[in-house]
Amino acid sequence: MNFDDLAPRTRAVAAGRPDEPGQPLNTPLVPASTFLAGAGFKYAREDGTPTWLALEETVGAIEGGHAIAFASGIATAAAVLDLLDVGAEVAVPVYSYAGTRGLLDHAAAKGRLKVRRVEPSDQAGWLAAAREADVVWVESPTNPTLDLIDIAGLTGHRARVVVDNTFATPLGQQPLALGADIVVHSATKLIGGHSDLLLGLTIAADEGVAQELRDARTRGGATPGALEAWLALRGLRTLPVRLAEQSRTAALLAPRLGEHPAVTKVRYPGQGTMIAFDLADAGAADKLCASLRLIRHATSLGGVESIVERRAMWPGDAHVPAGLVRFSVGLEDPEDLWRDLSQALT
């Protein structure tokens, strides 16, 4: 089927399905390591499985490229870095997902890669990196400070543009259409949507690059589980409604937080399901997390349940303001969420 004329939300529902008469409507969960010899699939780590392929086809159709599924978001990032020569330079936002920065710092400490840190708002710095470095690793919006970086402005220069699209989701932003080369996702978050799996996805504009990434998966062995791939595809089918509804609630709550006297700053890019807000200090933020009743105190994000976390509690996020609370807005009634926030802020 040709998806070119279909909206991204339609692709999320319609792509990646069997289309021969008599086949199941949905690709079933296929727990298989090996396949009968002679045609098609041989060994799952190399060729994938029907379950992975259905997920890959669907995400690829939405993002407009060739998708490969990995064991986790970080496994995806590791595979993208695995394509680089020793000594390659990677530019990364100063404030961005700590796990990715940890991966880069480790590679730099071992002498494998050079890392350049750029303030998300430093447009000249990003442009210089796009002209001089080998890779610009863009995260937009960034985790957890929700800064935005101009993706289109960085494409067409020397550096390969890699975009961590986890916060925006494939429906909120399609970086390949903006000229980026590679997209990575932690499908653990909004794509899975139910906080019950770990999975990563990468989508490359170029089939040759996609094959290199598939080879990196075969070499490194960071393959997704059958159940996880099946659950992630099931989650992706309802992403359009979850994203719309959770974003609507976030848009309602962000200004209310901004007006609350205990909140010193709200970080909200105007759309999406994530809000971050600053309280006076670490103590105030910890107290808030402990006082919430409906909103759960846990790490991670993107599920149907609302979650908060004081991000600076993690060692890798030491640069994040001590009182910053990251708020992943779920599917609960917005007024129930606001009542819980108000009582905890007081």
Ligand X SMILES: *Cc1c(COP(=O)(O)O)cnc(C)c1O
Give contact residues for ligand X (rule: CB under 6 A). 72-74, 97, 99-100, 139, 143, 164, 166-167, 186, 188-189, 198, 200
CB 277 → ligand X: shortest distance, Å?
18
Distance (Å, rounded) from C-alpha 305 to C-alpha 197? Answer: 14
- Active-site option among 11, 101, 160, 189: 189
Report the interhelical angle of 73-82 vs 207-220 (nearest 10°): 110
Q: Shortest distance, CB of residue 206 to ligand X, whole angstroms?
A: 22
Shortest CB 299 distance to ligand X, Å: 9
Cα 47 versus chain centre, distance: 24
Concatenated DSSP letters for 135-155?
EEEEESSPTTT-----SGGGT
Other beta carbons within 10 Å of 209? 18
Closer residue to ligand X in complex, CB, 145/188: 188
Long-range Cβ contacts of 334-340 (<8 Å, 24+ apart): 334/248, 334/249, 334/252, 334/253, 336/294, 337/249, 337/253, 337/294, 337/295, 337/306, 338/252, 338/253, 338/256, 340/292, 340/293, 340/294, 340/295
List the catalytic residue out of 9, 45, 117, 287.
45
Residue with smaller CB distance to ligand X, 328 or 340? 328
Helix ranges (H only) for the chain are: 8-14, 44-47, 50-63, 73-82, 98-109, 123-132, 169-172, 207-220, 226-237, 239-259, 282-291, 334-345
Token pair in block for residue 187? 């499908």
Catalytic hit among 95, 97, 101, 160? 97
Q: Choose the catalytic residue: 147, 164, 181, 317.
A: 164
**Among this protein's residues, is 160 annotated catalytic?**
no
Beta partners for 91? Answer: 116, 136
Shortest approach of ligand X to residue 177 CB, angstroms? Answer: 20
Given the complex with ligand X, which of 200 and 272 has the nearer CB atom?
Answer: 200
CB of 102 to ligand X, least distance (A): 10
Which of 98, 345 has the CB closer to ligand X? Answer: 98
CB of 200 to ligand X, least distance (A): 6
311: annotated active-site residue: no
Q: Does residue 287 carry a catalytic annotation?
A: no
In what helix (H) or strand (E) does residue 74 lie, and over which residues does it extend? Answer: helix 73-82
Helix and strand element counts for the chain (H, E) = 12, 12
Nearer residue to ligand X within complex by CB, 176 or 198:
198
Q: Is 43 a catalytic residue?
A: no
Using an 8 Å Cβ cutoff, are 276 and 288 in contact? Answer: no
Looking at beta carbons only, is 104 or 198 nearer to ligand X? Answer: 198
Sign of CA dihedral 178, 5, 165, 333: positive
Catalytic residue numbers read 45, 97, 164, 189
